[in-house]
Structure formats: structure tokens, C-alpha cells
Amino acid sequence: MGTPTAGQWVHRELLGGSVAVERGLSLGEGLTPLQEAPELARQLGLEALWLKREDLSPTGSHKARLMSWLCSVLLAEGHSQAVVSSSGNAAIAAAAYATLGGLRLLSLVSPRTPAAKLEALRRQPQAVVMSGAPVALLHHAVRAWGLADLRGSVHPLAPNPYRGVAAELAAAGDWDSVFVFASSGACALGLSQGLEALLEPGRRPQLHVVEGAPGGELTRPWYPG
């Protein structure tokens, strides 16, 4: 279990929710370093560019923040079993934090999941099922078996842990712009909420949301059909 100073739980007041700090699961997620990228900045014609190294999180992605938070929420609500569908990163993080907290987890992944991510997932003592229709199988698991849904794209509290990214950026300096990769939008929304809570309007950087593929959840309304 975590402690009041473990990982992202240093941002407890900003995260909100009803999880007591001493009940927060932590593997040391959050507080990731900022790394300057001068050559990439030069190629893009920028004065300076810094990377927030979420890939150095305990499970290899920013999903460590999400699953530390959501698994802690499930435990606080009395759940003992959960299910997640994922292309890899979310399932890896969910399995790590579910194992830490004593939750039973079913991870549903696509056959297109990269082999390295499957290998990382299989190192956790949790059930993994490969399916051509992982989301449909997840809906069945929730309805028929009563498993809690751990997907960040649907959980109303999913943006909360990403407010911690905003806190870490705000503490590191003043930024003109922040670019964030997004799929369902939970990370972008949480980052926006955190910047709004922490910084006066004149000090907030412009937030640019970059979607990974055209026609995804965020931009789909702008595409024909």
C-alpha cells in the first residue's frame, strides 16, 4: 500500500475523490522527470522543447497514474474483481496495481497487441484473454459477472490523476504551450482541470491535444458519417 508521500499521492488534495491517502496504491508513479530536447526543438523551429518522461513511470506509461488511482477507488468502494480492455499500456498498469492491491483482474487484449506489451502483461499474476472483440467481451463481463469496469474512457473519475501532471508542470516553471497525446481524452481533461485550478488565466499555457489516429473518439464528430 502507499503512504501519504508515495508517488502521485503527494497531489492528494488536487486529485479529489474519496480515497484516503493511506489507502492509495503506489509503485512510485508520478513525479516523472522533465528532459530538454534541443535537437528536436531545432528541427521544429522552437526556442526550447521539454519532454515529460511518463515512459519512465513504473509500468512504462502515464497509465500508471490512472490505474494507481482507479484501483485505489475500487478498493475503497469494496470491489474485489475488475475487467479492462486495452491495447497494452492500460492493461499492464491495471495488472500491476490490481496485484498490489489484491484485486482480481481480467485483461482483454486484441491480437494486434505488440508482443513486448503482451510479455509485460503476462509477467503479472492476472488473467489475460486475447479476443477479436475485447470491448464486447468486457461488456459481457460487467453485465453477467459483475466485474468493475476499469477503462479510463468511461470511468467518471479517470481525469483526476492527470491533474498531478499539471501540478508537476506548474511547479517546474512557466510554459508557453503544452502538447498532450490523447485517445479517450481523460489525460487531456485532467491536465486542463489541473492547470485551471493551479494557475491564474494569464499564466496558463496553451493546451494542445494531439489525437493518435484520425477519426478517434475526440475528433470523430468532425468526420463524415
Q: Kindly report, residue by residue over 26-36, the tens digit of the pLDDT.
A: 999 999 999 99
Task: Please compute the mean of the pLDDT values over residues 48-53 and round it to a whole number.
Answer: 97
pTM of the model: 0.92
- Amino acid 4: pLDDT: 42
CB atoms within 10 A of CB 117: 18
- What's the angle, vertex CA 166, arms to CA 165 and CA 169, rounded to 5? 85
C-alpha cell at 92: 499492464
Strands 34-36 and 50-52: antiparallel
Q: What is the pLDDT of residues 82-138, one digit of tens each?
A: 999 998 999 999 999 999 999 999 999 999 999 999 999 999 999 999 999 999 999
> Which of left, alpha, beta for 21 (phi over 0: left; psi -120 to 50: alpha)?
alpha
| Helix spans in the chain (H) | 12-15, 38-44, 63-76, 89-101, 115-122, 134-145, 163-172, 186-198
CA distance 134 to 140: 10
